[in-house]
Amino acid sequence: MKTKTVTDLFKKIMLVSLAFLSFNTFAQEEESESTVEKVLSKISLSGSIDGYYRYNFGAPNDNSVAPASSFANQSGFALGMANVILGYEGEKVGFVADLVFGQRGEDAVFNSDGSAQIVNQLYAYWNVSESVTLTFGNFNTFLGYEVISPTGNFNYSTSYMFSYGPFSHTGLKADFALSKKWSAMLAVMNPTDYTENNPFDTYIVGAQLGYATDSGSAYLNFRYGNEGEPGEVGPTFQADLTTGWDVAEDFYLGVNATYLSTEPQEDGDASGFYGVALYPQYKTSENFTLGFRGEYFSVYNGGLADVVGLDAEGDGNVIAATLTGSYDIGDLTLKPELRLDSTSEDFFTDNDGELTKSLSSFVLGAIYKF
Chunked into runs of 10 residues, the chain (370 residues) has average pLDDT values of: 46 50 54 69 95 98 95 96 97 97 93 86 98 98 98 98 97 98 98 92 96 98 88 88 97 98 86 98 98 98 94 97 98 98 97 97 98
221-242, pLDDT tens digit by residue? 999 999 877 666 789 999 999 9
Q: What is the pTM of this model?
A: 0.89
pLDDT of amino acid 265: 74
173-192, pLDDT tens digit by residue? 999 999 999 999 999 999 99
Question: Could you tell me which residues are beta bridge partners of residue 321?
Answer: 294, 340
249 touches 256 (CB < 8 A) = no
Q: How far apart are CA 362 and CA 350, in angstroms?
A: 16
Task: Please name the residues in contact with 232: beta carbons below 8 A apart, sequence gap of 6 or more.
Answer: 265
Widest Cα–Cα separation across the chain: 118
If one counts every other C-beta atom within 10 angstroms of the C-beta of residue 214, the result is 7
Q: How far apart are CA 369 and CA 139, in angstroms?
A: 20
pLDDT of amino acid 29: 55
pLDDT of amino acid 266: 76
- 217 burial level (CB within 10 Å; 0-12, 13-18, 19+): middle
pLDDT of amino acid 73: 95
pLDDT of amino acid 230: 67
Domain positions in the chain: 1-41, 48-369
162 touches 70 (CB < 8 A) = yes
48-369 carries CATH number 3.90.1170.50 = no
Q: How far apart are CA 301 and CA 271, in angstroms?
A: 5
pLDDT of amino acid 4: 46
